[in-house]
Copies of this chain bind each other. A is one copy, B any other.
């Protein structure tokens, strides 16, 4: 019998989960829940229903895992605890500073209702967190580095779009090569924000807009750009569509550490991702963890979990025997 999956929220992430479920033969997408009018939401899976979100509770016994594809700012802090009362759930909550609070809320709801919830699943938080954790456990004496990019930051793109005279914009975050080289060389550099990443903006302006003012507003914007070296390119709407319509991302997690009685030996652990589609990769990670939630729930486990708590084998469709024979 397949693992019956529901998706709540059908944006880029929800659509990515739909695609990922199709790649996993032991899973079946049963329903997509939307806050929009279901008649206006076209999904790709012919055998799945599109339902108004108000009907989700009716599916309580017809889904094994509900995947929450809303945003971290306002959706997930409400949705994950709410739906953890009815379903095993997965979310990609990524507001790092608020994870402890979110964990506590979700844990209480899930435990009370004997459900499994896995939060903050994706690549950062998610696979990057896992790699930071493994590397720290293996090399207790060392230094961590995380670089993001080259990739599109939605938050920074939105910030540029809010500037008067900007019609559309795309912002790329880019690791600084020399910083990365210093880390790889085992130099354990102390890197400022400016030394780690640069930012590159591609901006389409309204007719007659003052480009000099827009460039200055971008480069001096506190939190978003002021602490970085930012390059601004003004391009046409056609160029933006043609060259910048993808949502690539990626990055690197490194730990540089020492071993030996006198700490005489150096080691470098590096994990990197190069992703054509940030939401589809995030969705693929989430979908693998949906399998783990399903299995844990069958084992009688309940409560909130993160990637740190999940034994790797639970993610794989293969049995323990197959994994040991083929991948160990």
Contact = CB atoms under 8 A, between A and B. Distances in A.
A138 interface: yes
Given A138-B284, A328-B96, A267 B261 contact: no
Contacts of A277: 259-260, 265, 267
A181 interface: no
Interface string A126-140: 010111111011111
Contact of A133 (B22, B283, B323): B323
B134 A19 contact: no
Contacts of A159: none
B265 A133 contact: no
Given A134-B315, A259-B23, A308 B328 contact: yes
B327 A136 contact: yes
A44 B259 CA distance: 14
A272 interface: yes
Nearest to A102: B324
Interface string A246-272: 000000000000011100111111111
Contact of A276 (B99, B265, B324): B265
A232 interface: no
A276 B256 CA distance: 11
Interface in A95-143: 96, 99-100, 103, 120, 125, 127, 129-134, 136-141
Given A259-B277, A276-B267, A327-B136, A23 B311 contact: no
B100 A324 contact: yes
Q: How large is the interface on A (under 10, 10 to 19, 20 to 34, 35 or more residues)?
A: 35 or more
A189 B327 CA distance: 20
A167 to B, nearest CB: 27
B311 A311 contact: yes
B260 A19 contact: yes
A306 interface: yes
A285 interface: yes
Given A134-B312, A260-B280, A267-B275, 13 more contacts: A18-B261, A20-B259, A23-B141, A99-B324, A133-B323, A134-B315, A140-B317, A184-B274, A259-B277, A259-B281, A306-B323, A308-B312, A308-B324
Interface of A: 16, 18-20, 22-24, 44, 96, 99-100, 103, 120, 125, 127, 129-134, 136-141, 184, 259-261, 264-277, 280-281, 283-285, 288, 291, 306-313, 315-317, 320-321, 323-325, 327-328
11 contacts: A23-B140, A100-B325, A120-B328, A130-B312, A133-B323, A138-B288, A260-B280, A268-B275, A306-B324, A308-B312, A309-B312
